[in-house]
Amino acid sequence: MAQIEVVTNAGPLIYLAVTGQQNLLSRFYSRIVLPQAVYQEVVVQGAGQPGADETRAAVASNRYEIITVSNRIAVEALLGELHLGEAEVIVTARELGIKRVLLDDKAARRKAKAMGLDVIGTVGVLLLARQTGVSVNIKRDLDLLVQNGFRLSDTLYRTLIATYK
């Protein structure tokens, strides 16, 4: 496995769990970091919801690592345009020198890219799996995502379905 580290937001943890694919993260990333706010959102506030049990188990088995952000001022500075978890993902990645982040929200993705981070989201992880030979049913997974509140343009949906039949 390549030594690629990633800091993830709540969305990819939740949505990959919805599709039954959260295990893909451990397949592609040697170190998976969750800021404290992300763990709180997924496991504590999201108890009983998709992703909560999977994330708790991954933390308990040391597959995911919880980190407390040091630079609270940087987090606070991002809160005008981002949610707490998104802000902590970006600041944590910068603090730890991790170049890749998992974010789905458009504003958070834009901000992370502007700060020099490599961004991938839930759909990107599914496509990465498919491109590396992992059996993933893109249509089924995209349908599950959309049914569970994931925002995806009709154009992108149609393009992905046509490309990954």
Q: Which of 3.40.50.1010, 3.40.50.300, 3.30.70.3040, 1.10.357.10 is the CATH number of 5-135?
A: 3.40.50.1010
pTM of the predicted structure, to 2 decimals: 0.95
Q: Return the structure tokens found at 146.
A: 């959309």
Mean of pLDDT values over 22-47: 97
| pLDDT the model gives residue 2 | 57
Residue 48 predicted with pLDDT over 80: yes
Cα–Cα distances (Å) from 3 to 146, 149, 150, 151, in that order, read 32, 32, 29, 31
The pLDDT tens digits for 10-33 are 999 999 999 999 999 999 999 999
H or E stretch covering 54: helix 52-60
Sign of CA dihedral 138, 159, 132, 5: negative
